[in-house]
Amino acid sequence: MTTTEQPPTDSMRRFDELLRADEKIEPRDWMPDEYRKTMIRQIAQHAHSEVIGQQPEGNWITRAPSLRRKAILMAKVQDEAGHGLYLYAAAETLGISRDELNQLLHTGRQKYSSIFNYPTLSWADIGAIGWLVDGAAITNQVMLTRTSYGPYARAMVRICKEESFHQRQGFEIMVTLTRGTDEQKAMAQDALDRWWWPSLAMFGPPDADSTHTEQSMAWKIKLETNDELRQKFVDMTVPQADHLGLRIPDPDLVWNEERGHYDFGEIDWDDFWQVVKGNGPCNRERIASKVRAWNDGAWVREAAAAHAERQRRRAAGNGGSNGRSSGRDRDTEVRR
């Protein structure tokens, strides 16, 4: 039972039944207001992360060390924009518009992931982001392919496929650097030193301090807790660091035979909360760039809306037309 405070209505019973049967909640289904709010918060935060997450890597597109690396990085950054768009579309099915979501982000009323507030200081950071940040993102998102809200779960399936390509391209950069000159190896180690702890913090606060985990688990939004996912990520990543010949910057990291997992040191949660509150090294810069891009893009949104409106009017005036233009109409359109 997920809604214990009032006597259950038929709608609540149906919602609970869907969850119990591991079926998806769809936009047409009744859902408790708090479920809707939680979904909007999480999906929006996720969408904003994908969009803001373009900035640290976008910073290296002009400085990628070869044409091949540049083409791959551009494709990756474009993928992140696409993920943001699927996710905004999923959030819109809950009755909030993309404009509103952007306003909430720009005015600090919605969050994005802490990880994107750290600077990318060297090319090795692009390897470390793909390997660690995308690696952490997939660990969390594989779980979310089975989350209870249908549009979010379906968006996650496609996103995970692309994230796993991103993770591999990052790892491949790290392989190349660690097999290179001493200077390149040092760059790779330095990137791991700086990105390791923020990547572990990405999973959110420890379970004991997590505000939403208990309710989100009851609603099957989350199927694993922050600490369980963090452990999974550490267990997966330590052998990869060994393969690269890199040292994880944690003196307490040790295999625990009894638990069948790695033990690891304490995360600096004060640093995490400072970053979440807006005081990380790049928070101000990230939001300022986002707002600038949004304002600069106003004319594109206006032109697209005017074009859609003209298409709609034309289709409406077109008697029995199904609203789709023929190839010939499209040709005429382009010439005008």
Asked if residue 204 binds ligand FAQ (CB under 6 A), the reply is yes
Asked if residue 224 binds ligand FAQ (CB under 6 A), the reply is no
The answer to whether the beta carbons of residues 226 and 114 sit under 8 Å apart is no
CB of 323 to ligand FAQ, least distance (A): 35
Which listed residue (3, 120, 139, 216) binds ligand FAQ by CB under 6 A?
216
The answer to whether the beta carbons of residues 2 and 13 sit under 8 Å apart is no
Asked if residue 250 binds ligand FAQ (CB under 6 A), the reply is no
In sequence order, which residues have a C-beta less than 8 Å from that of residue 168 and are 6 or more positions away? 130
Residue 82 vs residues 53, 112, 278, 301: alpha-carbon distances, Å: 12, 16, 25, 17
What is the C-alpha separation between 279 and 49, in angstroms, rounded?
17
Tokens of 186: 């040092």
Binding to ligand FAQ (CB under 6 A): which residues in 64-93? 80
What is the C-alpha separation between 235 and 254, in angstroms, rounded?
11
Residue 319 vs residues 288, 316, 323: alpha-carbon distances, Å: 47, 7, 10
Which listed residue (36, 41, 168, 314) binds ligand FAQ by CB under 6 A?
41
Residue 245, number of CB atoms within 10 A of its CB: 12
Which listed residue (111, 168, 185, 314) binds ligand FAQ by CB under 6 A?
111
Which listed residue (12, 53, 86, 105) binds ligand FAQ by CB under 6 A?
53
Residue number, 210 or 325, with CB nearest to ligand FAQ: 210
CB of 42 to ligand FAQ, least distance (A): 5
Chain residues binding ligand FAQ by CB under 6 A are 41-42, 45-46, 49-50, 53, 80, 111, 113-114, 129, 133-134, 137, 140, 202-205, 210-213, 216, 226, 276
